[in-house]
Amino acid sequence: MNNVFNSIIKNSGSITVGDFLTCIGVALVTGFIIAFAYMIKNDYSKGFVATLVMLPPIVTAVIMMVSGNLGAGVAVAGAFSLVRFRSAQGTAKEIAVIFLAMSTGLAFGVGYVAFGLMLGVILSVVGLVLNLLGFGDVKDNKLKKNLKITIPEELDYTEVFDDLMEEYTTSSELVAVKSTNMGSMFKLNYEIKLKDASKEKEFVDKLRCRNGNLEILVSKVMQTESYL
């Protein structure tokens, strides 16, 4: 059992064609596994998933070339650091899966084929399970809304909707006020959390009666991504 964690490369200074093809082939398979796992229940672009497939064999080839050469290894590390600065900002999930792809490539590059394959498969499955279970999702996010109301200037916007907010929401906050139409109207922007999503229309109807049937917009709150 312990033999599967031994490197297949016996001499780092002399890599055979068989060793090279084995490492590159397994790296490519692992890249497909990581990419397919990421594509389930995640937003992605064609270029990003293609990168996930290609990254393990690329890193594998680079590590095999510089194996045993300290100076070349330092140069490669500097080149990898430049990639981050020339890339668009990525979410925490994207950065994590890129690190996973690179880690498997590093393992394959030094000949630890079984270790790299198991690492890629296990962490891909863990990520997939977390997505399917909705781990870390914000609870009651569907009840959170952005509410924009237009009112005539004669209404006192500080208190005019307080009773309705108390009746239909568990929390409400007036976050912005903007005058419009040459100062004859105000646009109010609220962040609210509904008590019952099924009563949203009833709530809007009562707001319409209060604001003179002027424009009302209810929209969902977009989840913010975590960036690294």
Angle at which helices 46-66 and 17-39 cross, to 10°: 150
Residue-level pLDDT at 138: 66
**Where does 113-152 show beta strands of DSSP type E?**
144-152
**Distance, CA of 46 to CA of 114 (rounded, Å):** 28
What is the total residue count of the chain?
Answer: 228
- The answer to whether 226 touches 91, Cβ cutoff 8 Å, is yes
Beta carbons of 33 and 120 less than 8 angstroms apart = yes
pLDDT at 11: 66
| pLDDT per position as a tens digit, 124-143 | 999 999 888 877 776 667 78
pLDDT number for residue 149? 94
Domains of the chain as residue ranges with CATH: 2-133 (no CATH), 141-220 (3.30.70.240)
For residues 7 and 112, is the Cβ–Cβ distance under 8 A?
Answer: yes
Residue stretches of the chain with pLDDT short of 50: 85-86, 227-228
Q: For the full predicted model, state whether its pTM sits above 0.85.
A: no
- Can you tell me the distance from the alpha carbon of 205 to that of 147, in angstroms, rounded to the nearest whole number? 13
